[in-house]
Structure 1
Amino acid sequence: MLIIGVYQIGKTFSVREFGKNFKSFVEINFVENQDAVEIFRTAKSSSDILLRLSAMTDTPLIKGETLMFFDEVQKCPEIVTAIKFLVEEGSYRYVLSGSLLGVELRDLRSVPVGYLEVKDMYPLDFEEFLICNNVSESIISHLKESFFDILTGLKAEDPTAKQTILLLSFSLGGFLLPTSCEVRSTGHPGKSCPS
């Protein structure tokens, strides 16, 4: 599996938590470990890669019980080709992760079909953030109603309407901007915005 998303949204944390389900967890970060990048550039086979990786880590590689996590894969595009052969070899499970900084992941989107599933990860929206921080449903409902009341009270021809929406969006971290589009375009939360 390849997890792609913007910087600092919890990709690495999520994989580390998932890794606790395995007897052995190996993490290779291609930004921090240039030697690992060289392994994938110069290795001749999957067994060569695994031999070199086992020499690089103190964690034992246990067949069928090890999760190998390759982080910051945008720094090692060769892994996309190699992962097919590693998966075929079958000894370990693999998760790859990369940030969408710049255009470095463009080539990683053409993954070997059947060997690597790509998942996009997104930051929490404001409501998810509140739920994760144990904010009660009644407070969340009140915040939503207040937000919608502000937006529905704005008139499109009002010259300060856009500034008010932008300021409101910034104060909430930009999380509710799609909802503001829904309310502005249809007058009803939950209705989709026109294209």
Structure 2
Amino acid sequence: MKRAGLDYLKKWKDKKTRKPLIIRGARQVGKSYLVRLFAKEHGLDLLEINLELNDDYIPCFKAKDPKQIITLLELKSAQKVVPGTTLLFLDEIQAAPEVLATLRYFYEILPRLHVIAAGSLLEFVLEEHSFSMPVGRIEYMHLGPMSFKEFLNGIGRHPLREFIEQYQFPKEFPVVVHDELMKIFKLYLAIGGMPEAIQVYCDTNSLLEVDTVKQSILLTYRDDFSKYKQRVNHVRLQTVFQKLPFQIGQKLKYVNLDRNEKSSDLKKALHLLSLARVYYPVYHTAANGIPLRAQINEKNQKPLFLDVGLLTKACGVSYADIEMADRVTLINSGPICEQFIGQHLLYARPCYEEPELFYWSREKRQASSEIDYILSHGPRIIPVEVKAGKTGTLKSLHVFIKEKELNYGVRFNADIPSCIDVTTSLPEKPVMFRLLSLPLYMVEELQRIVTLTYQPQ
């Protein structure tokens, strides 16, 4: 169950100017497991303190001198803390927000001590409390669900992962390998990337057991709603949470969440769900240049759920439904595949950067166009379309390419990789552009392959 985040943690450990690290992410994406595995692999003595379960440790952090804090922790835990060989892990740190402010002193006075904090509802603390955060004295790491390549590792299909990573255009892609990867891709859609769900599948080979785990995770998120009740009606929050999975791939309209509630109240509920990281807003961008964020319209967004496995569970889609559908051509397979690509693109950025994702649309009567995702690749804008099957119209891509005067676009679908030069099919002056088509399961190789196939204008 190795995570790509281990590589980042190793780089953090080896820094000469290492700062305390805060891992941010939704509940049960594997933050605690990642830290424990990291300590084990690098021979660090782990002192793990869960501040939600062990609040009697909180008074130890009232002192501003980290040496005094360490002395108190040693006496209470009966464990020696040695800078350079000990990893102090403060889990569920949102239960003691005042501890966050003390992290600056570890950087200033005890920089050799490895300090990692994690919290699933940390964003609530950062927004609600007025204490001074140690700006410039801490680092952040953002963690999402396990990716498809991590899933391949987890189920023991390492050679397939290596094949994907080593594939080079224009080398032939064996159909037998593609078919096997599509089979596992469908399995991933059903299981998802939550570490516990993947671990249970590896241990039991039972999708029924996986289903139980996913239901438990969804219920855990709903149980958390009681913690938000001072800020928003928890019944309203639960309603929005239950409706969101059915809005994936669509422009969000408040009336589709609850026609009986005020849009301002629904907006507040969505904000809380985004703080809990169970939902991400994919904002509309004008896409006229870099950075894409500079041209967003926050009034227009498409929702993205935390994880595709939780999405299929929430929508009542089983593995049998996915497996029986030829090329994943379910009625709602488009949104499911869009969720899969979206959650991977969201965390394709360096893990120290805040996850973000954008889309583009132009609404005209009888001539609306939409690009599922807009990315930047260096100084270039890359439009990305997602198709559940092997075919599908690319009219919106042609419109966007022509309007923005680009010469490169990307399509994810259920076919083998290809890269061809095409001409826009619009009635006006045709435009030549290069179309990179990748199978859905190769989303993590996008940046690498774009670098190989992009032709400068």
**Pairwise same-fold verdict (TM > 0.5):** yes
| Deviation for aligned residue 1:164 | 4.9
> How many residues are aligned here?
175
The equivalent residue for 2:146 is: 124
Question: Over residues 108-154 of structure 1, what are the superposed CA-to-partner deviations in whole Å (9 max), with x where a residue is unaligned?
Answer: 9x742332110100001345323421246322145569989445xx8
Within the alignment, does 1:35 sit opposite 2:73 as a pair? no
| Deviation for aligned residue 1:104 | 3.3
**Does the C-alpha gap of structure 1 residues 188 and 85 become closer, same or farther in structure 2, counting only changes over 3 Å?**
same
Question: Does the 8 Å CA contact 2:29/2:145 hold for their aligned counterparts?
Answer: yes
Coordinate RMSD, CA, aligned: 3.5
Equivalent-residue separation in structure 1 for 2:386 and 2:44 (angstroms): 49
The equivalent residue for 1:98 is: 119
| Deviation for aligned residue 1:100 | 3.4
Give runs of aligned pairs for residues 5-20 of structure 1, distance below 5 A.
Answer: 5-20=25-40
Within the alignment, does 1:67 sit opposite 2:108 as a pair? no
Query: Residue type matched to 2:65 in 1?
Result: S
Within the alignment, does 1:115 sit opposite 2:137 as a pair? yes
Question: Does the 8 Å CA contact 2:83/2:114 hold for their aligned counterparts?
Answer: no
**Does the C-alpha gap of structure 1 residues 50 and 32 become closer, same or farther in structure 2, counting only changes over 3 Å?**
same
Equivalent-residue separation in structure 2 for 1:3 and 1:27 (angstroms): 14
The equivalent residue for 1:176 is: 340
Equivalent-residue separation in structure 2 for 1:128 and 1:175 (angstroms): 17
Give the match's secondary structure for 1:97.
Answer: strand
Give the match's secondary structure for 1:8.
Answer: coil
Runs of 4+ in 1 over 6 A off after TM superposition: 145-148
The equivalent residue for 2:70 is: 50
Equivalent-residue separation in structure 1 for 2:85 and 2:96 (angstroms): 25
Query: Residue type matched to 1:95 in 2?
Result: I
Equivalent-residue separation in structure 2 for 1:55 and 1:80 (angstroms): 21
> Which of 105, 127, 140 is equivalent to 2:181?
140
Equivalent-residue separation in structure 2 for 1:9 and 1:148 (angstroms): 31
User: What stretches of structure 2 of length at least 5 have no aligned partner?
Assistant: 1-20, 161-176, 187-322, 345-371, 373-384, 388-395, 398-409, 413-436, 444-457
Query: Residue type matched to 2:142 in 1?
Result: D
| Deviation for aligned residue 1:183 | 1.8
| Deviation for aligned residue 1:53 | 1.1
Equivalent-residue separation in structure 1 for 2:53 and 2:151 (angstroms): 30
Equivalent-residue separation in structure 2 for 1:148 and 1:128 (angstroms): 25
Query: Residue type matched to 1:133 in 2?
Result: I
TM-score by length of 2: 0.33
Query: Residue type matched to 2:72 in 1?
Result: R
Query: Residue type matched to 1:124 in 2?
Result: M
The equivalent residue for 1:3 is: 23
**Does the C-alpha gap of structure 1 residues 124 and 68 become closer, same or farther in structure 2, counting only changes over 3 Å?**
same
Question: Does the 8 Å CA contact 2:94/2:120 hold for their aligned counterparts?
Answer: yes
Question: Does the 8 Å CA contact 1:72/1:99 hold for their aligned counterparts?
Answer: yes
**Does the C-alpha gap of structure 1 residues 22 and 92 become closer, same or farther in structure 2, counting only changes over 3 Å?**
farther
Equivalent-residue separation in structure 1 for 2:85 and 2:184 (angstroms): 46
| Deviation for aligned residue 1:32 | 1.1
Equivalent-residue separation in structure 2 for 1:148 and 1:3 (angstroms): 40
Identify the structure with bigger relative contact order (alpha carbons < 8 Å, sequence gap 6+).
1
TM-score by length of 1: 0.71
Question: Does the 8 Å CA contact 1:46/1:86 hold for their aligned counterparts?
Answer: yes
Equivalent-residue separation in structure 1 for 2:43 and 2:128 (angstroms): 30
Equivalent-residue separation in structure 2 for 1:26 and 1:165 (angstroms): 45
Query: Residue type matched to 2:386 in 1?
Result: V
Equivalent-residue separation in structure 2 for 1:32 and 1:75 (angstroms): 9
More strand by share: 2
Give the match's secondary structure for 1:96.
Answer: strand
Query: Residue type matched to 2:63 in 1?
Result: A
The equivalent residue for 2:45 is: 24
**Does the C-alpha gap of structure 1 residues 128 and 32 become closer, same or farther in structure 2, counting only changes over 3 Å?**
same
**Does the C-alpha gap of structure 1 residues 30 and 176 become closer, same or farther in structure 2, counting only changes over 3 Å?**
same
Within the alignment, does 1:188 sit opposite 2:411 as a pair? yes
Equivalent-residue separation in structure 2 for 1:142 and 1:74 (angstroms): 40
